[in-house]
Structure 1
C-alpha cells in the first residue's frame, strides 16, 4: 500500500490560543506554531468530574524544553524539565572517539529553574555561575547558550519559515499535551570545548517544546535526527508511547518541507547494547540504530521516579519521501531514547 493511501492526517489551521477564552482546548495537528497556550484559562477536573484545586492543578502541569545540534562527528544536547516537585536539566557534548562531557543539575521545587510558557516567546534557564544553560524562544528561532566546565556555546537555530510539527493530544482520562518539534534547522554561532572551536557550518539542529497535564505514569520511546542527506537538510522525529490518540507526533523534514508519518514501532532489548530497529506502520521508515553513548539517570524521589536513557549513535537504513524517492541513511548521527516517568 502506498503512503498516500495509508496515512493522510488532517492538518488544522493553528488557533490564536490553544485554550480559548471559554476554557476549551483545541486538539489536533496544526499547520503552525501556537504562540499562546493560555493555560490559565483551562480548568482541570478529576476523573470524577470535580474541579481540582488551583494548587493541585499547578502540580499536575509538566513541561520541558530540549535542543539538539548535530555536526558531522559531534552532538550537543541540552534539556530543562519542570515537573513541579523538582526541576532537572542536563547538557552534554558527544564527540566520536572522545570522552563525552556531561553536566546535570537538580532544583527541588524548581528553585533556580525557569521555563518558557510559549515556544515563541520567553526564556528557559537552569543553573548559575560556572554551570548554566539558557534557551531563548522567538518566532524566528531559538537561541542556546551554555557555560559549563570548558563547554561554551552561543548558538542560534533558525526556523527559516519551516513548518513545525505542532500537536495537541489528549492524555489519559482528563489531561492533554501540546508538543512542538522542528528538526533539520540551520545553525549559526559558536561552540567551543576547552578553548577549541568546533565547526558549526554544516551542523543542523532540532527543538522540542512540550507541556501539559500528562499521565501520572508514562513512558515513551523516541528517535531524532538532524543532518544533511544528499546535500539537503534532513530531520526525523518518531515517538511511541505518547501523543498517539488518533494522531502521532511523527514527521520528517527534507529540504525545508515537513512530511507527517504513520505510527512508529521500536524494537530493542532494554538495557542491552544491541541494535534497535525503528520502523513506521506504512513503511516510510526502516532503520537500525546502534548506540555509542548513553546518558542515563535513575531517580526514586518519593512520589517521583524516572528511568531515563538517552542514546547517541548512528542510524542506517531507508526513509521514503512523499514523492517516492528513497533516502539511504549511512552512519547518520542521531538520538534514541527510552524513558519511564512517574510524576
Structure 2
C-alpha cells in the first residue's frame, strides 16, 4: 500500500508519538515533549539519545559509505571506498570524536550534519530543496559529491523500542549523483551513479542489534530491517511511490557473511538474493561501550512488487549493502 503524508511533527498535542509509516519529510525531531509512558528524564535521554546520518554512493566502479553518529555521550564517524572491479577496500576511515565538540547532527533529514577533528572533516550539507553536497577529507580519501533531489518521497517510520522509548528514521530513494572520489590509487567519477541516505533519531536501549539491507537505482529501491525496530522501516520504492512492506527475514551464514544471503518479506512482495563483493568490518571495545559491525557490499537480484495482485518486477544486480550490527552503547 502507498503511505499517508508525513506529519509536521512526530508528537501530538498530548505528547503522544504518532507511530506509523509515512511518505515525506517530518520537521524537527524533539523527544523532550514525550508524555507517559514514553517520557524519560533528561539524564536518561542524554545517554540513550542516538542519531546518525549515513550516505551511500554507488557507481559501476566504486561504492562509498559515509556516516556521522552522535551517541549522546560521545560521537564517531566512518567512511570507506570500495573498488568493485578488484574488490579492494581503498580507504577505511574511522574516528571517534570529542564529546559535545566533534559532531553536529541534523535535527531532521532536511538539515546538515558535520563531523570534524584536527585531521578530518565530513560535511553533509543540505541545500534546502531535497538536494545535498557531501564533502569529506580524511587520510587517503577525499569526496566531493552532489546528490538529489529524488523523484520519490522519503520514507518516515516511527515506532516504540523495547527497553528504550521511541525511534524515528527517514530513508531516501535513489538520488541522482555527481562528483568525484579521490583515493591514494585513483580518482573516480561519480556522474551517473546513485546516492541514498539514512537519517535516524531515537531513544534506544543500551543493547541494540539489527540486520539491514538497502539498494537503489533511480527507478526502484528498498529498505529492510530486522532487529530492534522490527518491520517498522521496511519499504519499497517503485514508480515514484513508497510502499510499506511486512517483516523481513535474513537467511545467511553468520560464520561466512561473504557467502550469498537470501532475504524475503512475509507479505510475498519481495524476494532477493544478495551476492557480496566485499565488506567493511569494525569491532570496537571500550570501557563502557562495544560495537560489532559488518557491512557487506554487493548486488541484489530477484523480484519485488507493490501488491500481491501486481506483476513481479525483476531486480538484476542492483548495487547495495547488507548489515549485521550489534552495539552496547
- TM-score scaled by length of structure 2: 0.89
1:31–1:54 Cα change, 3 Å: same
Structure 1 residue matching 2:189: 3-state secondary structure: coil
1:125 maps to 114
1:111 maps to 101
Structure 2 residue matching 1:14: 3-state secondary structure: coil
Cα deviations by residue, 1:141-184 (Å, 9 ceiling, x for unpaired): 23211112343222222133521110110111550000110121
Counterpart pick for 1:140 among 127, 130, 146: 130
1:209-220 equivalences under 5 Å are 209-220=199-210
Structure 2 residue matching 1:198: 3-state secondary structure: strand
2:296 maps to 311
Structure 1 gaps, min length 5: 1-7
2:76 maps to 88
Cα deviations by residue, 1:268-297 (Å, 9 ceiling, x for unpaired): 111313211111112222212122222112
Alpha-carbon deviation of 1:192? 3.0
Counterpart pick for 2:232 among 248, 269, 275: 248
Structure 2 gaps, min length 5: none
- TM-score scaled by length of structure 1: 0.86
Does 2:242 align with 1:271? Answer: no
1:226–1:129 Cα change, 3 Å: farther
Cα deviations by residue, 1:167-224 (Å, 9 ceiling, x for unpaired): 1101115500001101211113333334854232221111101111112212110001
Distance 1:206 1:214 in 2: 24
1:27-176 equivalences under 5 Å are 27-42=19-34, 52-96=40-84, 97-100=86-89, 101-121=91-111, 123-137=112-126, 138-160=128-150, 162-172=152-162, 175-176=165-166
CA contact (8 A) 1:309 1:339 kept: yes
CA contact (8 A) 1:26 1:168 kept: yes
Cα deviations by residue, 1:20-77 (Å, 9 ceiling, x for unpaired): 454332211123210221333236768xxxx754222222211111000111131110
Which range moved further: 125-134 or 333-342? 125-134
